Chains A and B, each alone.
Chain A
Amino acid sequence: MKLIIAYFRPEQLNAVKQALYAKGVHSMSATNIAGSGRQKGYTETYRGVMIEVNLLKKVRLEVAVKDEKVTETMDAISAGAQTGKEGDGMIFVLDIADARRIRTGETGEMVFG
């Protein structure tokens, strides 16, 4: 069991979701975050005054999958999130020690049904 955490552009969320659905991955959580990486920030102007924005709005998507689905899921996220410009984001994969479905009490890999 792995937890896949991906950070990418908010406007790509729909494309990522569609790519994941196509691979049969329907369970996910998304949060709005602000972050910085290699992509430089941008400048806004407000009433003629420059505002430097260096923590950029990104989406953090968490998906837990069985080991054999990890590569497929990462590929789907990349396919949906990639624009080819700096700031496309990162994907991290973590081990999950244990899991439990609250409704049924199933544990371990059983939670993925």
Chain B
Amino acid sequence: MKRRWTLSTKALTVVGLAALVALVLPSAGFAQDEAPEFLSQQNGNVMWTLIAAILVMFMQAGFAMVETGLTRAKNAGNILMKNMFDFSAGSVAFFLVGFALMFGDDIGGFVGFSNFGLSEANTADADGLWGYTFWFFQCVFAATAVTIVSGAIAERTKFVSYLFLSFLVTAVVYPISGHWIWGGGWLSQLETPMIDFAGSTVVHSVGGWIAMAGALVLGPRIGKYTKDGVARAIPGHNLPLVALGVFILWFGWFGFNPGSTTAANGNIGLIAVTTNLAAAMAALAAMCTAWLRYGKPDVSMSLNGVLAGLVAITAGCANVSPMGALIIGFGAGILVVLSIEFLDKVLKIDDPVGAISVHGVCGAFGTLCVGLFASPDFGGTAGLFYGGGLSQLITQIIGVGAVFVWSFGAGLVLFALLKITVGIRVTAEEELKGLDLTEHGSEAYSGFQIFITE
């Protein structure tokens, strides 16, 4: 009893002191006769955009973990290297060339062409400095697009060809279609400009379609299909890593979507809400779809469901109501499971991590959904279901189609060029032994016994 009494006296003393300080301080402020300083809007924008960019950068870790977990132990080191070096190569390429093609002075609505190597950014004033913040934010987005590719072409691609691909995608392919939508190009000059707020199409579909081109040109992994063409499962080696990666991506997406305001305004909380609701609903929908189709709630399909919802809401996160976000997430969750099965069993495109379905297909789906669910109360644009007619939907369809043709076509050309120059596929022997040993000369799990059951 005594002890408790002493504690509360201490507490009282602290509260008393605090009250005293609070009474004295304001008068001290007035005494100095200075106007109180607030964070200026411009500095607020810099802070929020930079924090968001740092969150998006961390998504690289998420991609690395998802892709490592969903592939075999013998290729873990190779996947990690790819994820590290698409960010490294991508940052350099986007600095030297990519940013200029995406956001430079417009040429005919097709491509930008100025500000190479950030030549126009400067430290003279706040506007010049903003150039650096904006570049960094855009750079992590470009790197996100290219890292999507590594998962779909995992376990069979030559490391050196992937390095070239990373440079070329972030320097040329991603910036050109990005310019059409974000850099003032033709899709943003249409009478009803295309809405892709944070990049369902600009970032995710582009990555997904290049990934599809790559998986097609490479062909499936050895043992993926029987001689009769029946798809076999090649289970990933570490689901805990996949789950960690998905949570990191989910976390990073609160920079990806709310950060795309590139301004510290009141909108960012709403965007976080739509982003989270779509991801949660898509997880539920994907899990239930898998449960109904396979009899069990499949772990890795459910995890893919989260990502599908996140990708789908990215285009409309600032333009749809929370209820709209739930519907978009629900659709994406169902779609991703069906799409993964369709690619695997019908088209016979071997995508070890489901990147084409998650990013390509759900990215396109989410972008189209803006034309349906855009609500005038949230982003000022009305989609078909809110009385806005067909014009927005038509623009979205044109955009999705044009970006598909561009990125899938460019992907086919790039992979074909790499195939006849450095070669894109490792030999059968290297593939069977694993790329860790054959491409990098070291194992990811030295000292562990990797059980071979194939």
Contacts and interface: CB of A to CB of B under 8 A. Distances in A.
Q: Do the two shown chains form a genuine complex with each other?
A: yes
Interface of A: 10-14, 30, 32, 42-46, 51, 59, 83
Given A11-B429, A11-B432, A13-B454, A45 B441 contact: yes
Given A14-B454, A32-B449, A44 B442 contact: yes
The B interface is mostly helix, strand or loop, or mixed, namely loop
B443 A44 contact: yes
Contacts of B7: none
Interface in B432-450: 432-433, 437, 441-443, 446, 449-450
B452 interface: yes
A45 B77 CA distance: 13
Interface string B239-269: 0000000000000000000000000000000
A3 to B, nearest CB: 21
A53 B433 CA distance: 15
A10 B452 contact: yes
Nearest to A47: B442
A45 B452 contact: no
Interface string B71-97: 000000000000000000000000000
Interface string B193-214: 0000000000000000000000
The A interface is mostly helix, strand or loop, or mixed, namely strand
Given A30-B453, A42-B437, 13 more contacts: A10-B452, A11-B433, A12-B432, A13-B454, A30-B452, A32-B449, A32-B451, A44-B437, A44-B441, A44-B442, A45-B442, A59-B452, A83-B429
Nearest to A85: B429
B223 interface: yes
Contacts of A11: 429, 432-433
A51 B437 CA distance: 12
A14 B223 contact: yes
B275 to A, nearest CB: 40
Given A11-B429, A14-B223, A46 B442 contact: yes
A102 B212 CA distance: 51
B442 A13 contact: no
A65 to B, nearest CB: 22
14 contacts: A13-B452, A13-B454, A14-B454, A30-B452, A30-B453, A32-B451, A42-B437, A43-B441, A44-B437, A44-B442, A44-B443, A46-B446, A51-B442, A59-B452
Nearest to A33: B449
A89 to B, nearest CB: 14
A46 B451 CA distance: 22
A45 B429 CA distance: 20
A51 B450 CA distance: 19
Contacts of B443: 44
A51 B447 CA distance: 13
Chain A CB within 10 Å — which of B433, B446, B449, B452 has the most? Answer: B452
Interface in B127-145: none
Chain A CB within 10 Å — which of B223, B429, B441 has the most? Answer: B441
Interface in B403-454: 429, 432-433, 437, 441-443, 446, 449-454
A11 B437 CA distance: 13
Contacts of A32: 449-452
A30 to B, nearest CB: 8
A47 to B, nearest CB: 9
Contacts of A46: 442, 446
A30 B450 CA distance: 13
Contacts of B429: 11, 83
Contacts of A42: 437
Contacts of A43: 441
B446 to A, nearest CB: 8
A48 to B, nearest CB: 11
A52 to B, nearest CB: 12
Nearest to A42: B437
Chain B CB within 10 Å — which of A12, A14, A30 has the most? Answer: A14
